[in-house]
Chain A
Amino acid sequence: MLLNYGKAPFFILLVAVATGIGVLVTHRRYAQPRPDLVLMTHAKLHADVYLSRLPEFERKYGVKVDVQVVEEVALRTRLLAAFAAGTPVPDLVEIPQDAALFLRGPIRDIGFLDITRWVKARRLDERMLPARFSMWQRKGVIFALPHDVHPVMLAYRADIVEDQLGIDVSKIETWDDFAAMARRIVRYGDDGRPARYALELQDDGGYLLQALLLQRGVGLFDAAGDVTFDSDVAADTVAWAVRQLRGPNRIAYSLGFGPTLWEGMQDGLVLFYFTPDWRTRTIEEYAPSLAGKMKLMPLPAWAPGGRRTSTWGATGIAATRGGRNPELAKKLMEFLYVDQTDGGRSSAELRILPAVRAAWSLPIFDTPDPYFRGQPILRLYSRLAGDVPPDYASPFITRAQSKRDNAFAAASAYYSLHGEDGFLDFVRAELRRQADAVRAVIARNRITEQ
C-alpha cells in the first residue's frame, strides 16, 4: 500500500523509521539528572582546564558541576532567547566581552546577577585589577568577574629581525622609532609584489585598531556610557593606521585570521604581530615550524614614556538571575577565577594571566618558553599587566565596533583615492558621523533606561 507513493518515498520512510528509533535510543542516554550547577562557556580550552580542576571543588562542597561548551554566536543567541523568553538558563555563564549587549534595559531586567555587594565585600575589586571591571559593569552595578588581563605585546620573527637583519629591538621605544625601522626592512620581490612587511594590521580596522586605540586610552565608550571613539586622538590613530597600510611608505599588511595568517607568518611575510597572552598559545599551535624563532617585545609607546601595552579580548564569568543556587555559583566563580589552588598551573597552561594581582608573582610564570627563545613570557606579561587600560562596557558595544570599523573602511577608501589631501579632516568627520549614528541608537533607547 505504501508503495502507492513510489519507491523513493517508501525507502525514505524506512530510513525515517530506522533513524527515528536510533534517535530515541541514543538521545535517552543523554538525559541525565541535572547537576547542581551548570557552567556554560564559549571557550573549549577553558572548559578543559575547568574540567580538570572541578573535582576539587566538587569534593569540597559535595556537589556536582557540569561544564558545557557552546560556540560564541550560538551562546549569544541562546542567552538572548532564554532571557527574553524566560526559559531555563545555565547557572553560570562565561561570556566574551561583547556579551555586554545583555546589559541593555532596566537594571532589574538584566539576566545576570548583580554581584556588586559581594565583590566589594570580598574586596575583589581591589584584589583583581580594577581596570578590568570596566568591561563588566553598568552604572556602577557589577555583573561579572573578570577572567583575565590580556596585556598585549609584539611577537616577532627573531630569526629574521635579530639574526638576519641585526636589529636591536630594545632600542625601539616609540611607534615613530618602529616605523622608521620598519621602512628600512620592507621588501618587494622581483615581480613588484610584497615579500616582507613589518607589522600586522587589519584592512577593516577590527581588533588591532582597537588595541592601538586602547593603548592611547581611547575606548568605544567612557565610564558614563557615552560614545568616545570620535575624539581627536582617535582620528590621529586611525589616520596613522591607514597610512601604514596604504601610504607610500607602507609598513603594514593585513593577513586576516584564518589559514592565511599562519601561512604568512611562517613565510615571513609579516614580521611583527600584536600578541596578547592568549595568542601565544594559538601561535605555538598553528605555527609549529617557528619554534625557537619568535620572541616578544613590549608595544612601542605613542609618546616617550607612554604606555607600552594594550589589551585585546576579555572574558568574564557571570551568574544568572534564573540560576538555582546563587551562593554556590558565587563560590564556584571565586574558585575558578580567584583561588589559585593549583599554583597557577592552569593559568600557565592556558597562557592567560589571571586578573588577581597577587597571582602575578607566582613562580610558575617564570618558566622559560623554548618557542620564544627561552623568554619567560608570562613573567613579561605580568610586568605590563598593571598598565592595562580600561575598556568600558555598553549594551551597544557590537554596534559601536562595527560603526568604528565602517569609519576605518571609509578612511582607507578615501586615502586610496585622494591620499593626504584633506585626509585628516575626512577621518574626523567620518568618525563623528559614525559615532553620531551610535548616539542616535542610544538616544532612542532612553525609553527603557530606567
Chain B
Amino acid sequence: MNPVHLTLLCAAAVAVLLYAADRRRPMLAGRYARLVALVFLAAAFLAPFAWITCAAFKDRRALLEYTFLPPPSAWGRMLNLGNFHKLFEPRASLQGTIVFWQYLLNSLFLSSAATVIQVFFCSLGGYALAKFRFTGRRDLMLFMAGSLMLPSMLFLAPTYDMMVHIGWIDSYAALLVPSAANAFGIFLFRQAMLSVPNSLIEAARVDGAGEFHIYSRIVMPLITPMTAAFCLIVFMGQWNTFLGPQIFIQSDYKLTVPVILSQYVSQFQEEYGMFLAGTFISIFPIAVLFLTLQREFISELTVSAGKR
C-alpha cells in the first residue's frame, strides 16, 4: 500500500461517509467530490513546482533517488545549498569572471526596459487605431492581424544578417528595438481604448488640448488595468525568452538567465543541480510580479475574451 493508494482510499472513504450521512442532500457529497477533484488537479499542476523546489536543494548526486524529499533522517546529508553555491560561483570567461547576479541583472534590465518601451509605443498605435478614422486603417489592421499568425522564426536568418550590417549584433538594441511597437500590443491597447467615451476626447479637443496631451492625460489613465496586464505579459515574455538572446548576444557577460541556464544542460554537460537551482531562483521575480498584478491581468483577459 503506497502513499498514492492510501490517499485515494481515504478520499473515497470520506466521500462514501458523506453520502451515507445525509442521503437527502447529495449536494454535500457532490460539493465534496468537486473539492477533491480540484485538490488532486491542483496537486498535479503544482507537482513539478514542488519537484523543482525539492530538487534545487538536494545534493546533485542524489537527485533522483527520492522522488521529492528523502526521509527526515537523511536531510542533513542530502539537503544543502550546494547547488546554489555552485550556481553563484564566479565563472571564468573571456572578459573576466562573471557571477550569476550579472545574468539576473541583465534579465531584469531587458525585461523591464522592454516593458516600458512597448507600453509606450504600442499604446500610441492603439490610440490611433481606436480613436481615429484615417485612410489605410483597415488595411493596416488586416496586415497586422496577418502578421500575428506568422512565427517569428520566419525572419530569423535575414534579420540576423541585417543586424550584422547595422552593427547591432551583441547589443541589447537588437532585442529591444524590433518589437518596440508590435501588433499584439497595439491590438490589446486598441481593444481597451475602444471603451473610452469619445465625448471625453471631443471635450478635450474643444478645450484646445493637443493630441498627445489627450492620449497621455485622459486616455491612458482610464485604461490602467489593461496597461498593467500588458506589463505583465511583456515582462514575463521577455524574461523567459530564449531564442533571441541566444542568437543575437555573443558576449558571455551580456547573456540572460534562460540562455545561461540552458547551457548547463546539454548533451555532455549535465549540471542539473545548477539548472534547477537557477530555475528556482528565476521563477521568483516573475511570481512576485504576477501575484501583484494577477487581478488586473485576469480581469483584462476576461474582459477581452468576453468581448469577442
Contact = CB atoms under 8 A, between A and B. Distances in A.
A77 interface: yes
Contacts of A69: 91-93
B241 interface: no
B121 to A, nearest CB: 13
Interface string A53-92: 0000000000000111111111001100100111100000
Contact of B96 (A16, A29, A258): A29
Given A85-B160, A259-B64, A263-B65, A4 B252 contact: no
A362 B160 CA distance: 49
A13 B93 CA distance: 31
Interface of A: 1, 4-9, 12-13, 15-16, 19-20, 22-23, 26-27, 29-32, 38, 44, 47, 51, 66-74, 77-78, 81, 84-87, 257-260, 262-263, 282, 286, 288
A5 B119 contact: yes
B14 interface: no
B227 A8 contact: yes
Nearest to B221: A4
A211 to B, nearest CB: 15
B155 to A, nearest CB: 15
B231 A9 contact: yes
Contacts of A286: 61
Contact of A32 (B63, B96, B105, B254): B96
B105 A19 contact: yes
Given A29-B96, A74-B246, A6 B224 contact: yes
B227 A20 contact: no
A16 B228 contact: no
17 contacts: A5-B123, A5-B224, A6-B228, A8-B293, A12-B115, A16-B113, A19-B108, A19-B113, A26-B105, A68-B252, A72-B268, A85-B160, A86-B164, A257-B270, A259-B63, A263-B64, A282-B268
Nearest to B254: A27
Given A72-B266, A258-B270, A6 B227 contact: yes
B217 interface: yes
A44 B221 CA distance: 52
A47 B91 CA distance: 11
A30 B251 contact: yes
Which label, helix, strand, loop or mixed, suits the secondary structure of the A interface? helix
Given A8-B227, A12-B231, A66-B94, 18 more contacts: A4-B221, A5-B123, A6-B221, A6-B224, A6-B225, A8-B292, A8-B293, A9-B231, A16-B113, A47-B92, A51-B92, A71-B266, A74-B246, A77-B246, A78-B250, A85-B160, A257-B268, A260-B64
A54 to B, nearest CB: 12
A79 B89 CA distance: 27
Contact of A4 (B115, B220, B296): B220
A16 B109 contact: yes
Contacts of A8: 224, 227-228, 231-232, 292-293, 296
A12 B64 contact: no
Contacts of A6: 220-221, 224-225, 227-228
Contacts of B65: 263
A59 B246 CA distance: 36
A89 to B, nearest CB: 10
A32 B106 contact: no
Nearest to A39: B94
A71 B228 contact: no
Contacts of A288: 61
A84 B267 CA distance: 26
Contacts of B116: 9, 12-13, 16
A8 B269 CA distance: 40
Contacts of A71: 263, 266, 269
B182 interface: no
Given A8-B231, A38-B94, A259 B270 contact: yes
Q: List 10 A-B pairs, minimum CB-CB distance, nearest first.
A: A6-B224, A16-B112, A68-B94, A19-B109, A30-B95, A71-B263, A8-B228, A85-B164, A15-B112, A30-B253
B235 interface: yes
B161 interface: yes
Contacts of B231: 8-9, 12
A44 B269 contact: yes
A378 B164 CA distance: 46
Contacts of B268: 72, 257, 282
B187 to A, nearest CB: 18
A16 B117 CA distance: 10
Contact of B263 (A26, A27, A74): A74
A259 B267 CA distance: 12
B227 A19 contact: no
A87 B61 contact: no
Nearest to A287: B61
